[in-house]
Chains A and B, each alone.
Chain A
Amino acid sequence: MAMSRQGARYLLLGPAGLWYAALLVLPLAVVLVYSFGERAAAGGYAPAFTLAQYANLGSRWTAFQNTLVLAPAGTLAALLIAYPLAYYLAVRVDPKWRTVLLVLVIVPFWTSILIRSYAWIYLLGGRGIPQLLADLGLGDWRLINTPFAVLVGIIYGYLPLMVFPIYVSLEKLDKRLLEAASDLGAPPWRRFVQVTLPLSLPGVATGSMLVFILLMGEYLIPQMLGGGKVFFVGNALVDLFLQSRNWAFGSAMAVTLVATMLVVVTVYMRFLKRIGAARDDVGLM
């Protein structure tokens, strides 16, 4: 062997290590340093050491609030809609249709989220569903540019990400367990609560985690369906870099967002471990 095992290992890790150093550690370090700086006179960054940016975070409380309310709400709504579908696909449907139906769940996910959200601008706008409701005599509804519209966009955008992990864990479910429960005289709801639900928890955990993480940094859906009125932290961040050009404050907000996520995700994973739903891949995602 020309090279030691250890040497080969370093060589293999080299490119990845370089990438993490240059494009993860360095940028995050720069953001951290900038977060203690100031806005330059015409915008941008000016070196300083101040906590003023962090002190100003309170002025963006609504953006944090929207994110911390709508991200979990969107995750929960997607979960409630996805679970029965995943159950249907894994347990009820004729196996020969299963693959086709699964592919049909993922196909919309392969269309740009921009285009899909754009479709909702039309559907929720005055000429779409509100017109239909008015024609049916159901009153005057304003849907576009509301938190409701953003929620619909979120559910629509991330539903497939929720269906798949739940489907995978339900599919592994041993049907004989259900039959045994049934033979023992358990009514359907008890079979569900005591057998099916606990077994599907890992999938629920993975799906919720995936969707929640993506929602915490969401920008596009609130931008397109919220009309600039339903601000997420992501929107406030883009605004600080692309409009008011306050890099220092934007950096402080980015640091806070990442810290919030770390805390929420860690707490959530502790909780999952406690209820025994954690699976290896949860830790990885």
Chain B
Amino acid sequence: MQDDKAPITRQKFIEELLRYRKGSVTRRHFLGVTGLGTAMAVMGGGLPLLSPRRAFAQGIGDQVVLATWPNYHDPANFDAFAAETGAAVQVNVFGSNEEMLAKLQAGGSGWDVFVPTNYTITTYVEADLIEPLDLSKLPNYDAASFEARFADAGTVDGKLYAVPKNWGTTGMAWDSSKAKAPFTSWKEFFDVTRTDFSGRTMVHDYQLTTIGNALKYFGYSFNSVDPAELADAEKLLIEIKPHLFAISSDYQPAMRNGDAWLTMCWTGEGKQMNRDIPEILFAVGKDGGEIWSDYYAIPKNAPHRDAAYALINYLIDPAVNAREAAAHGFPVADARVNALLPPEVLSDPILYPAAELLNAQEFGAAVTLTDPNRAEVMARFKSA
């Protein structure tokens, strides 16, 4: 630890890597012990302020901009990518697909790679905001290793626009030390919010899941665009609004410090909180809810297209992707990656709910994203 430059044995490196993956050491410790920190410092040429960035042989430029979701990557992988290619990864974090779509529609987002969810891709194609992928530049992509339901949405009209990143569910996470009984359904989620958990619940700051789960309260489809059903959902949401702690998709800080006790939550984030604070539990609704699959895609007019391909190709490399999964906890659809993950991860009940629970979940539909009524219901709920 004291001496960054001391060599490290292969054995010790693997040990440290495993400890790091389990989260028992910090990234800083890991980089220090393994000497990667020194290597990176040398590669980076010290402070970027003081020295011009190095030119690398591949010539993909010195940066690449990634628009993605919070807590969805292993930062060490970006450092390694930068060290390998010379392109620093700038990460822009978003809270919803609506927000990403709005930014792309307004033009000049400056992104090279972004992470759309399954139900958005046809909309991007129709609006001409996304470009077909050139598979020759993605040698690490192997279509055969993906389960179809998590990869299908990437292909529109026979053309491949996006390659799968992770899949997961949108369930609920809660502080079990405050709850009388475990949560099992969206019905309970909203009912307990009105009573025991008043002032302690968070819902997402975008319409798809917040409205979708309110629809499930009444047993309607998660994807309903029926005006009468949406009216019921709106009534419920406006009724529980005074009982909410916040309307926000950044729920981890409030859950971790105890301000919030219950939240709508994406699988991997539920896992992240549960790993650090065992009292925080996660479940999907037995009455339904969302199952989703995220993809990597390249927007039209990406300023650093070569770097974009290089980054996607790097991140879908099974070894790299396994490190990503170890850090963020979301399930991976790539069989090659799962072969590298420890068996206890693959049998984790948070990440891989029982089949009958999973079967109750619905993939979001394209019309669910674009339906003007749903957008307006959400906006009215927020400004109510």
Contact = CB atoms under 8 A, between A and B. Distances in A.
Contact of A227 (B105, B126, B245, B380): B245
Interface in A226-285: 227-229, 231, 235-236, 239-246
Given A42-B123, A229-B246, A235-B383, A243 B199 contact: no
A63 to B, nearest CB: 4
Contacts of B380: 59-60
A167 B376 CA distance: 47
Contact of A126 (B105, B247, B258): B258
Interface in B220-269: 241, 244-248, 254, 257-259
Contact of B99 (A39, A243, A246): A243
A240 B99 CA distance: 10
B18 interface: no
A217 interface: no
Contacts of A41: 370, 372
B206 interface: yes
Contact of B382 (A44, A228, A245): A228
Interface of A is mostly: loop
A45 to B, nearest CB: 10
A246 B246 contact: no
Contacts of A39: 372
A42 B375 contact: no
Contacts of A240: 379
A150 to B, nearest CB: 13
B259 A62 contact: no
A63 B383 CA distance: 6
A127 interface: yes
Contacts of A239: 379, 382-383
Count class of interface residues, chain A:
20 to 34
Contact of A42 (B126, B206, B384): B126
B247 A228 contact: yes
Given A42-B123, A142-B199, A244-B378, A227 B247 contact: yes
B362 interface: no
Interface string A121-165: 000011100000000000000101100000000000000000000
Contacts, number: 93
Contacts of B126: 42
Contacts of A60: 379-380, 383
A126 B200 CA distance: 11
Contacts of B96: 243
A239 B102 CA distance: 10
A125 B248 CA distance: 15
Nearest to B199: A142
Interface in B82-103: 96, 98-99, 101-103
A127 B199 contact: no
A280 to B, nearest CB: 39
A227 B248 contact: yes
Contact of A229 (B99, B106, B241): B241
A108 interface: no
A124 B2 CA distance: 40
A236 B379 contact: yes
B383 A244 contact: no
B127 interface: yes
Given A41-B370, A42-B370, A231 B259 contact: no
A43 interface: yes
A245 B105 contact: yes
A245 B248 contact: no
A145 B199 CA distance: 10
B62 interface: no
Interface string A176-220: 000000000000000000000000000000000000000000000
Nearest to A125: B259
A144 to B, nearest CB: 7
B152 interface: no
A41 B98 CA distance: 14
Nearest to B244: A229
A246 B375 contact: yes
Contacts of B106: 241
Contacts of B383: 59-60, 62-63, 231, 235-236, 239
B156 to A, nearest CB: 14
A155 to B, nearest CB: 21
**Residue of A41, A43, A127 most packed against chain B (CB within 10 A):** A43
A227 B247 CA distance: 6
Interface centre among B96, B98, B372, B378 (most CB of A within 10 A): B372
A135 B244 CA distance: 25
Interface-central residue, A125, A144, A228, A231, by most chain B CB under 10 Å: A228
Pick the most buried of B127, B206, B241: most chain A CB atoms within 10 A of its CB. B127
Contact of B206 (A43, A144, A145, A243): A243
B375 A231 contact: no
Contacts of A125: 254, 257, 259
Interface in B334-372: 370, 372
17 contacts: A44-B105, A125-B257, A126-B258, A126-B259, A127-B257, A142-B199, A145-B245, A227-B248, A228-B246, A239-B382, A242-B99, A243-B205, A243-B206, A243-B375, A244-B207, A245-B101, A246-B372
Interface of A: 39, 41-44, 59-60, 62-63, 125-127, 142, 144-145, 227-229, 231, 235-236, 239-246
What 10 A-B pairs are tightest by C-beta distance, nearest first? Answer: A227-B246, A228-B247, A244-B375, A126-B259, A63-B383, A231-B383, A236-B383, A243-B98, A42-B370, A242-B102
